[in-house]
Amino acid sequence: MTCTNLLAIESIAIKGRGVVTTKAIAANTVLEIAPVASFPSTERKIIDTTQIAKYYFVQPEAYQCNHEVDGYFVFGLASLCNHDSTPNSKVEWVTDEIGLWSHLTSIKDIASGEEVTLYYTNIDEYDFS
């Protein structure tokens, strides 16, 4: 179950926009469930030249073995979560009879108004200049 009233988008100092909680969240809470569209690794090279490159995901297990992996667009707020080396949330990938879904899940308690952060698997591919 997803509770969309748990999250909001706000301006985050230095980072731009980001996702914050609207109330205190316990660890292991599913914050959002969103549909996912995948695309092959061959198309990542094309997408990496566009403005939408910063919004796709790669699955950590596959990326650690080989950087030539498929990409995933999450049609939810997880795409707007900023990176943190010690994140308070993670994306879990769930497949059912309808397709692939992302579950944005807290991995520790999150205070009301706190930013929801993720560890970017492919952080080495980002240009922060």
Higher model confidence: residue 71 or residue 126?
71
Question: What is d(CA 53, CA 128) in angstroms, rounded to the nearest whole number?
Answer: 13
How far apart, in whole angstroms, are the C-alpha atoms of residue 83 and residue 120? 6
Average pLDDT over residues 91-109: 95
Q: Where are the domains of the chain?
A: 7-119
Structure pTM?
0.81
- CA distances to 12, 30, 39 from 36, rounded to whole Å, are 25, 16, 10
Q: How far apart are CA 106 and CA 88, in angstroms?
A: 6
Range 106-129 average pLDDT: 77
CA proximity to 44, closest of 71, 66, 75 = 71
Q: Give the per-residue pLDDT at 25.
A: 96
The pLDDT, as a whole number, for residue 76 is 93
pLDDT at 71 (0 to 100): 85
Look up residue 105 and give its two tokens. Answer: 């899940």
Q: In which band, very low, low, confident or very high, does the pLDDT at 128 lie, cut at 50, 70 and 90?
A: very low
Domain spanning 7-119: CATH 2.170.270.10: yes
Maximum pairwise Cα distance, the chain: 42
Supply the pLDDT for residue 66: 58
| Ramachandran area for residue 14 (φ above 0: left; ψ -120 to 50: alpha; else beta) | left
3-18 per-position pLDDT tens digit: 458 999 999 988 889 9
pLDDT tens-place string over residues 42-99: 887 898 888 888 888 876 665 555 566 788 899 999 999 998 989 999 999 999 999 9
